[in-house]
Structure 1
Amino acid sequence: MLPESDEIQSSASKRELLCQQWQLCLLAISFFTRIPVNMAVDVTAKMLNEASRYFALVGVLIGIISALAFYLSAMYLPTEIALLVAMASSVLLTGAFHEDGWADVWDGFGGGWSIENKLNIMKDSRLGTYGAAALFFILMIKYQALLALIQQNMPNVNLINDGLSVLSILVLGHCLSRVLATSLIADMPYVSEDATSKVKPLAQALSNNSYITLLATGTFILLITLSFSVIWKLVVILLLTRWCLKRWFMQQLGGYTGDCLGAAQQFSEVVIYISLLALTSASI
């Protein structure tokens, strides 16, 4: 047995570790959402980098809130309107953080010729034709895919099979898309020249612990919502999606920016919904 003094020290160390991880989780929530949080410590660039391990968990939170908005709205409104309310709630919750990145990427890549020119366009707060069109289509495709999934699976609310509930659909989409987007930080250089960029502290490589936690969160959500026959196919699709996004960003910029991560989240979220629609339809 440990001496009493050592037990007290060990207990204090565990409490300190839990407190540190809780602060990182709160920081992740404040980074990705408009939810007000009280930080007990001063935020540093190192902390923000380490908080990336909980970005997938924030996606779970956003998915749950969006599903709640859908269920409450569906009590009084048609399914189509309730779905729009759910989508609007996620946009309001995140401050359109990722949608803005998606639009900026298309404005920059569509209207710029050189890397410097593309970066300047992406940092412009005005919305261009490429960005507006891309934003319209991504939201429309997301809405139609979600509506088709809900209409197909609404009678079945069991999470542990191929029949998906609204909750599992939205949690999967928001969680896994953030796993994919955040994972790009691990093996891509940060290229933005704007030192004030909000995502600048994330330019460092992900630590092993952060990467493992990120992947473990996504794996857990997969295991409790889908059967293995669907999981492996979806994982293959997401790996291919990640490869395509990484190649696209490298060709256009030679790396990633914060806007690229937002675009990756939006695109992969839609890929997840379309993939689930195809895979679950095939299994019926």
Structure 2
Amino acid sequence: MQALILMIQFMTRYPIPVAIDFTAERFVQGMKWMPLVGLLVALPAAGGFVLADWLLGRELAALIAVILLIGVTGGLHVDGLADTADGLFSYRSRERMLEIMRDSTLGVNGVIAVVLAILLKYLLLRAIPADGAVPALLAAPVLGRMALVWHSAVARYARQERGIGDYVNQTGLVQAVFATLFSLILVGGMLFFWGVRANVIPWLTLILHLPPVGLAVGFAAYVKWRLGGITGDTIGASIELAELLSLFVALLVWKYWLS
């Protein structure tokens, strides 16, 4: 339970007034519960979407949902996406890219990445058919946090100094498999609760999970080639990219299969 609370405190802005020591053991244990953290991120956005869709229409509902997704996390992962874009698209040496990613100043590439990510989430949420928008919105943050664990499990930390890398390097396939199984249960339950046909749920759940896992592993391999390993910023970027991919897959599924 302490590991779960620690991850909620670390990954969200939920005010949990419990002091828990940040240790490597709790961090690694907490990685297994990342899909549940994703669900806690998704719930306010889904609730805001449903209410705004009823009162104001789909366009404003999609915008409000995106704002709530950012608000619950404090923009933590969006910042990681921005820093990753600044570093990778600078096309400098490995050491210089890592320095740029650590710099708190936001560059042009970071701004472009953030704007595109927010715009794409809005457009995808607006485009997903009505019966699929809420389950897609609930599933995307769950799948994004599951992808985070795979990104952390398949590559080592790029920087040599002690810190978050000590914790990330202890995350392995055991945590990734556990997080995936937990995510499969959560997403399958959401689909069942939302009334998706029972014979479709196993296939749909699998279809929603495979692309984020592939993206997380492939992205880890890419940044390992460019940077020598992953960083906290690339972990955040993997969440944002996996959420976008999940929403895109949901759009295809509900538009061309479940319509």
The answer to whether the 8 Å contact 1:112/1:121 transfers is: no
- CA RMSD of superposed structures (Å): 2.0
Structure 2 gaps of 5+ residues are 192-199
Q: Residue 117 of structure 1: SS of its match in structure 2? A: helix
1:222 aligns with 2:187: yes
1:37 aligns with 2:16: yes
Please name the residue that 2:125 is paired with.
Answer: 146
| Paired AA for residue 244 in structure 1 | G
Please name the residue that 2:95 is paired with.
Answer: 116
Question: 1:193: Cα distance to partner?
Answer: 4.4
Please name the residue that 1:101 is paired with.
Answer: 80
For 1:48 and 1:128, how far apart are their aligned partners in 2? 31
The answer to whether the 8 Å contact 1:106/1:134 transfers is: yes
| Structure 2 CA distance for partners of 1:147 and 1:207, relative to 1, 3 Å | same
The answer to whether the 8 Å contact 1:23/1:40 transfers is: no
| Paired AA for residue 88 in structure 1 | I
1:26 aligns with 2:9: no
The structure with more radius of gyration: 1
1:99-141 Cα offsets, whole Å, 9 max, x none, are: 0000101100111411110010001111111111111111111
* TM-score normalised by length of structure 2: 0.88
Question: 1:93: Cα distance to partner?
Answer: 1.0
Q: Which of 115, 121, 137 is 1:170 aligned to?
A: 137
| Paired AA for residue 14 in structure 2 | I
| Paired AA for residue 89 in structure 1 | L
Please name the residue that 1:264 is paired with.
Answer: 238
| Structure 2 CA distance for partners of 1:112 and 1:237, relative to 1, 3 Å | same
Question: 1:228: Cα distance to partner?
Answer: 2.8
| Paired AA for residue 144 in structure 1 | L
Please name the residue that 1:185 is paired with.
Answer: 152
Q: Percent identity?
A: 26
1:276 aligns with 2:241: no
- Give the paired residue count: 249
The answer to whether the 8 Å contact 1:49/1:201 transfers is: no
Please name the residue that 1:92 is paired with.
Answer: 71
For 2:201 and 2:6, how far apart are their aligned partners in 1? 33
Question: 1:32: Cα distance to partner?
Answer: 0.3
1:141-177 Cα offsets, whole Å, 9 max, x none, are: 111111111xx1x2x4xxxxxxx251x2122100011
| Structure 2 CA distance for partners of 1:109 and 1:41, relative to 1, 3 Å | closer
Question: 1:44: Cα distance to partner?
Answer: 2.1
Please name the residue that 2:196 is paired with.
Answer: none
| Paired AA for residue 225 in structure 2 | Q
Question: 1:213: Cα distance to partner?
Answer: 3.1
Q: Residue 221 of structure 1: SS of its match in structure 2? A: helix
The answer to whether the 8 Å contact 2:37/2:142 transfers is: yes
Question: 1:194: Cα distance to partner?
Answer: 5.4
Structure 1 segment 224-263 matched on structure 2, within 5 A: 224=189, 225=191, 227-263=201-237
Please name the residue that 1:52 is paired with.
Answer: 31
Please name the residue that 1:12 is paired with.
Answer: none
